[in-house]
Structure 1
Amino acid sequence: MSKKIKLGILGGGEDSLIGILHRVAANMFDRFEVVGGVFSRDFKESRQFAEDLGIGSKKVYKDLDQLIEGESKLPADERIQVVSILTPNFLHFSMAKKLLENGFHVICEKPLTTTYGEAKILEDTLNNAKTIFAVTYTYSGYPMIRQMKEMIAAGEIGEIQKIDIQYYQGWINPIIHNEEQRNSIWRLDPEKSGISCCIADIGTHAFHMAEYVSGLRVEKLLADLNYMYPDNKMDVDGTVLLRFSEYVKGVLRASQTATGEENDFTIKIYGKKAGLKWGQESPNYLYKIEEGQPIKILKPGHGYNSALSLDGTKLPPGHPEGIFDSMGNIYKGVAKAIKGEEYHPGEFPGIKDGARGMNFIEKVVASHAEGNVWVSLDN
């Protein structure tokens, strides 16, 4: 009998990019087996999609309630053990809560929920459920981001002085300027996306990355958002000033109207002794800069890297690793946790990271709405 963890998926069917990303990631280390789920609202399409994947339709259900009911009747060794939630934002909370209450492990796309209050409820539910919960802040899985985290923790750049993080995309630019289109996509619909588009979609990645890599927590922020048109209720661009402490400041810039940009996600952290720079579009290069010294370039797979970085490296030095690998590393960490194996706390973001993200989103929107003022995050 297969010892792989049985994985169910909610959403992610048809031509979903996020669906492909999660399926490839789940299969990467031979730890998970995708066995079913609810891939589409249309049951017929969902069953056909499962057949096309080659997994059969035995464990394909009409909806989440039917999945929980059907799986709960099976012997423990035959049940779906963990469920990945890849649906639009507004469905995350109710789905995750039901799954936790019925004993399932959960892997959830970000943002965790549509409100911070919902996120806190999920935290309490998880405490009672005592299962594993991961939030897929994908970029934390990159080997050189993990190396960056470990170098900072070891004091290699000295006390942090400045954090600069940017996430620029341009995909929404042709949509936002067309009234019919901007009023027809779910990303710009508050009922489905929550109170934020850009900040919730990619700004929360940047926020998580800033805290994950630096080991610091944002105490206060001041935000200035851009909605572009009076009839558009969702932000599509924003700049956020960050205060980690009295003398450690940062800036977070996120935009989905950066014309021509694809996925320009960069982070720069400067300490008293040195600085570190990384960009998602060239993820194999981590730059260390020091005054009076030549630039040092670190790459994955070499013995000089940390154990956390090397554990997430699948190829010999010189072979590019990308976003599939990054997501795969997160799934690998979740598998270790589910199996009760030893794992590094940096291997996958958890529910507290997701809740922090929701707190960040709400505070950014509030800061902007109140006239671009400083507001405090919960700590």
Structure 2
Amino acid sequence: MVGGGQGAFIGAVHRIAARIDDRYQLVAGALSSDPDRAAASAAELGIDPTRSYNSFAEMAKAEAARPDGIEAVSIVTPNHLHADAAVAFLEAGIHVICDKPLSVSQAEGLRIKQCLQESSAQFFLTHNYTGYPLIREARDMISTGKLGKIRVVQAEYAQDWLAEPLETTGQKQASWRTDPKATGGGGAIGDIGTHAYNLVHYITGLEAQELAADLTSFVPGRAVDDNAHIWLRFKGGAKGQLWVSQVAVGNENALRLRIYGDKGGLEWEQENPNILWFTPLGGLRQRLTRGSGALSEAATAATRIPAGHPEGYLEAFATLYNDVADVLIHNKSADHLPNIMDGLDGMWFIEACIASSKNNGSWCERNL
């Protein structure tokens, strides 16, 4: 693991997710850019001191040379460190599991892509919400035509944890997430907006054609956006709206999706992820639940325990790690896993939102 040492949030989540299905062992790490913190973090996690490294470059070189070296690395650093770390491990022939967003710019993302094309290793991006069973069910329903031709997509991701200038208190997560040098310039759009945008594509298969955005920094002195309204035009004629906010008081982690076709509609909320609502045109609203026998093979494969026992965020994250293990060990298909192109699409989304907002909400065409 690169990053994820003392004081980090997402590193611990990745470690739990990797262990849930007993497919991984954590044996090496460059857990912090501070050598003392890196060593202390490694000791807490039971990593052999000889495999605790002061830099990801040192780790990639040393682990590639070991007969028992790591097979894959999780990169869980702030965004601005993703590209250099990913390139170092791909060049060493080590598989990369990278936290989102891909990097801080399309240019950096393309550097990763170029290295991936020349490497024997594979690359995976942890858009973890794609691991929910009912997200997989929604994707299957749309791909098999149950909603018909998609017309309208409404997505929102609202939080309130940055409603005050938390970054001025020294809180680590707030500090780097509101630092444009660490994020690439995006605030809420990069931190949580990319999740909502990715889910829209993952579930519907729709590709954005262009977007228009209005970004706001409501908290005085904040250098990045903390609220965004985004309009999307998709290839094929579908329209979408996306609201992202980290200043929406009363919302903890309110990721919501509503998708409407000419034959039916779907609704799903991340805070209640075991329920998916489906309404066929002219029919009754139906409540689909995780673990029921009527769901698709894709949803069932992502389910661990019987219906009525809640599965949530950590299990969805673990599904990605489990699926990656199946790809690497058993050579199974990776078509359902977020990849380098999804990462580049996210980079376009962030940069287009910023450019559009700076130009009074003008439409920006997708350039991938």
The equivalent of 1:378 in structure 2 is: 367
The residue correspondences of 1:315-334 to structure 2 (distance < 5 A) are 315-334=305-324
The equivalent of 2:340 in structure 1 is: 351
| Separation (CA, whole Å) in 2 of partners of 1:30 and 1:19 | 17
* 1:184-228: CA deviation from partner (whole Å, max 9, x where unpaired): 822121111111011011000011001000011010101001022
Higher mean C-alpha displacement, 211-220 vs 62-71: 62-71
SS of structure 2 residue aligned to 1:260:
coil
The residue correspondences of 1:102-121 to structure 2 (distance < 5 A) are 102-121=92-111
| Separation (CA, whole Å) in 2 of partners of 1:135 and 1:341 | 18
**TM superposition shift of 1:132:** 1.4
**TM superposition shift of 1:240:** 0.3
Which runs of 5 or more structure 2 residues have no equivalent in the other structure? none
1:18 aligns with 2:10: yes
* 1:33-55: CA deviation from partner (whole Å, max 9, x where unpaired): 11121112232332332232234
- Among candidates 279, 287, 292, match of residue 297 of structure 1: 287
The residue correspondences of 1:192-231 to structure 2 (distance < 5 A) are 192-228=182-218, 231=221
User: What letter is aligned with 1:236?
Assistant: D
User: What letter is aligned with 1:175?
Assistant: P
Is the 2:165–2:222 contact (alpha carbons within 8 Å) kept by the matching residues of 1? Answer: no
Quote the RMSD (CA, aligned, Å). 1.9
Number of paired residues?
367
The equivalent of 2:299 in structure 1 is: 309
* 1:224-263: CA deviation from partner (whole Å, max 9, x where unpaired): 0102267432111001000013631010100001112100
User: What letter is aligned with 1:353?
Assistant: D
The equivalent of 1:242 in structure 2 is: 232
**TM superposition shift of 1:296:** 0.7
Is the 2:95–2:121 contact (alpha carbons within 8 Å) kept by the matching residues of 1? Answer: yes
1:32 aligns with 2:24: yes
User: What letter is aligned with 2:355?
Assistant: A
| Separation (CA, whole Å) in 1 of partners of 2:48 and 2:306 | 36
The equivalent of 1:5 in structure 2 is: none
User: What letter is aligned with 1:72?
Assistant: A
Higher mean C-alpha displacement, 185-194 vs 323-332: 185-194
| Separation (CA, whole Å) in 2 of partners of 1:181 and 1:49 | 20
The equivalent of 1:341 in structure 2 is: 331
The equivalent of 1:6 in structure 2 is: none
The equivalent of 1:58 in structure 2 is: 50
Is the 1:132–1:337 contact (alpha carbons within 8 Å) kept by the matching residues of 2? Answer: no
| Separation (CA, whole Å) in 2 of partners of 1:83 and 1:267 | 32
| Separation (CA, whole Å) in 2 of partners of 1:284 and 1:112 | 28
1:261 aligns with 2:251: yes
Is the 1:106–1:133 contact (alpha carbons within 8 Å) kept by the matching residues of 2? Answer: yes
Which runs of 5 or more structure 1 residues have no equivalent in the other structure? 1-8
Higher mean C-alpha displacement, 220-229 vs 205-214: 220-229
| Separation (CA, whole Å) in 2 of partners of 1:309 and 1:179 | 43
* 1:276-309: CA deviation from partner (whole Å, max 9, x where unpaired): 0100000000000234432211112222211111
| Separation (CA, whole Å) in 1 of partners of 2:66 and 2:46 | 22
| Separation (CA, whole Å) in 2 of partners of 1:288 and 1:245 | 24
Is the 1:175–1:181 contact (alpha carbons within 8 Å) kept by the matching residues of 2? Answer: no
The equivalent of 2:263 in structure 1 is: 273
| Separation (CA, whole Å) in 1 of partners of 2:340 and 2:38 | 28
SS of structure 2 residue aligned to 1:253:
strand
Distance 1:181 1:79, change over 3 A: closer
The ranges of structure 1 where at least 4 consecutive aligned residues each deviate by more than 4 angstroms after the TM superposition are 178-184
| Separation (CA, whole Å) in 2 of partners of 1:10 and 1:180 | 26
* 1:45-101: CA deviation from partner (whole Å, max 9, x where unpaired): 3233223223432311111122122213211xx001111111111111111111111
User: What letter is aligned with 1:287?
Assistant: W
SS of structure 1 residue aligned to 2:224:
coil
Percent of counterpart pairs with the same letter?
Answer: 36
**TM superposition shift of 1:344:** 5.2
**TM superposition shift of 1:331:** 0.6
Calculate the TM-score normalised by the size of structure 2.
0.95
Higher mean C-alpha displacement, 93-102 vs 161-170: 93-102
The residue correspondences of 1:62-101 to structure 2 (distance < 5 A) are 62-75=54-67, 78-101=68-91
* 1:123-176: CA deviation from partner (whole Å, max 9, x where unpaired): 111011131111111100000000000000000011111000000011111226
Calculate the TM-score normalised by the size of structure 1.
0.92
SS of structure 1 residue aligned to 2:331:
coil
SS of structure 2 residue aligned to 1:185:
helix
| Separation (CA, whole Å) in 2 of partners of 1:73 and 1:158 | 53
**TM superposition shift of 1:359:** 0.8
| Separation (CA, whole Å) in 1 of partners of 2:235 and 2:340 | 24
SS of structure 1 residue aligned to 2:27:
strand
Is the 2:64–2:93 contact (alpha carbons within 8 Å) kept by the matching residues of 1? Answer: no
